[in-house]
């Protein structure tokens, strides 16, 4: 009888223990923090003031290298692109200069190649962001040769000629972050220019045609971001933001004085 009572007691204890375990919340692995440890920022860069019309870099019919391709139409400056309706400024870089904390899903880039094309004697896109674990592949969609001269500070400079209609392209790798966006130019067609930023982390954005940007899954807390545009260079070296856990914070319309964006030459 005593043995039977002990058996029943043991069974009851086992059931109670199982119930406690079932009710206990599971803990997340240390290398897989909750999304609540990170947040997102959005915003829009806009011109504060009037913007002059873009300059004509190459007029239709100008005597330039490969005129049938490069001067078939007017080539307007794309250093400053402003949306007429919203006054949003395109191609503004906003980025975290460095960080030691990266969301686990962003530690390596999902996309392994970033494409820089050449169309109508222009680099496309005009501004781009590449990480050190990605390749930048330069291609050509023009029926003429182009030179791609990557200017750098911390990486080895790269300079090569790409034959016309090369759709395979030449891959370029960068080993370390650059402190600022850097230019790539074509020395054959000297108006061709693109600006690229290389970082060893994912926390950067380039404003779109309406000036809007988004940086997702940033570490929560206070940060100082760098804002840069091709015409003035540094717009703001230490733009302070607070990223809140699990939230998207809209920074609203960030105004850039028009006089900073005027082309002076």
What pLDDT, on a 0 to 100 scale, did the predictor assign at position 29?
40
**Measured between alpha carbons, how far is 44 from 224 in angstroms, rounded to an integer?**
17
Instruction: Read off the pTM.
Output: 0.85
**Measured between alpha carbons, how far is 247 from 189 in angstroms, rounded to an integer?**
46
Spell out, as residue ranges, where the chain has pLDDT lower than 70: 1-36, 263-265
Listed in sequence order, the residues at least 6 apart from 149 whose beta carbon sits closer than 8 Å to its beta carbon are: 157, 158, 159, 184, 185, 186, 187
Structure tokens at 164: 């016309």
Structure tokens at 86: 């919203």
Listed in sequence order, the residues at least 6 apart from 13 whose beta carbon sits closer than 8 Å to its beta carbon are: none
Domains of the chain: 39-51+81-261 (2.60.40.420)
The β-bridge partners of 249 are 41
SS3 state of residue 205:
strand
Chain centroid to CA 208: 11
Q: Give 132-191 as a 3 state SS string.
A: CCCEEEECCCCCCCEEEEECCCCCCCEEEEECCCCCCCEEECCCCCCCCCEEEECCCCCC
pLDDT in tens, 19-63: 444 444 444 444 444 556 999 999 999 999 998 888 899 999 999
Percent helix, percent strand, percent coil in the chain, to nearest 5? 15, 40, 45
């Amino acid at each position: 009888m005593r043995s039977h009572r002990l058996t029943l007691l043991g069974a009851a204890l086992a059931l109670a223990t199982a119930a406690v375990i079932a009710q206990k919340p599971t803990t997340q692995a240390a290398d897989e923090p909750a999304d609540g440890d990170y947040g997102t920022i959005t915003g829009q860069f806009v011109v504060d003031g009037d913007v002059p019309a873009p300059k004509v870099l190459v007029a239709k019919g100008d005597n330039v290298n490969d005129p049938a391709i490069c001067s078939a139409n007017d080539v307007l400056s794309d250093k400053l692109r402003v949306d007429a309706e919203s006054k949003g400024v395109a191609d503004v870089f906003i980025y975290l200069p460095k960080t030691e904390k990266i969301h686990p899903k962003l530690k390596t880039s999902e996309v392994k190649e970033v494409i820089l094309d050449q169309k109508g004697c222009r680099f496309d896109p005009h501004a781009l962001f590449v990480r050190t674990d990605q390749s930048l592949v330069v291609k050509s969609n023009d029926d003429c040769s182009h030179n791609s001269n990557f200017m750098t500070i911390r990486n080895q400079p790269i300079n090569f000629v790409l034959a016309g209609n090369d759709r395979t392209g030449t891959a370029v790798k960068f080993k370390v972050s650059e402190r600022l966006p850097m230019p790539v130019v074509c020395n054959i067609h000297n108006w061709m220019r693109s600006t690229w930023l290389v970082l060893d982390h994912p926390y950067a954005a380039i404003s779109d045609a309406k000036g809007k940007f988004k940086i997702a899954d940033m570490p929560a807390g206070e940060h100082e971001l760098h804002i840069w545009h091709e015409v003035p260079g540094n717009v703001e070296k230490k733009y302070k933001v607070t990223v809140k856990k699990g939230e998207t914070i809209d920074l609203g319309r960030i105004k850039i004085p028009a006089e900073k964006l005027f082309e002076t030459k």
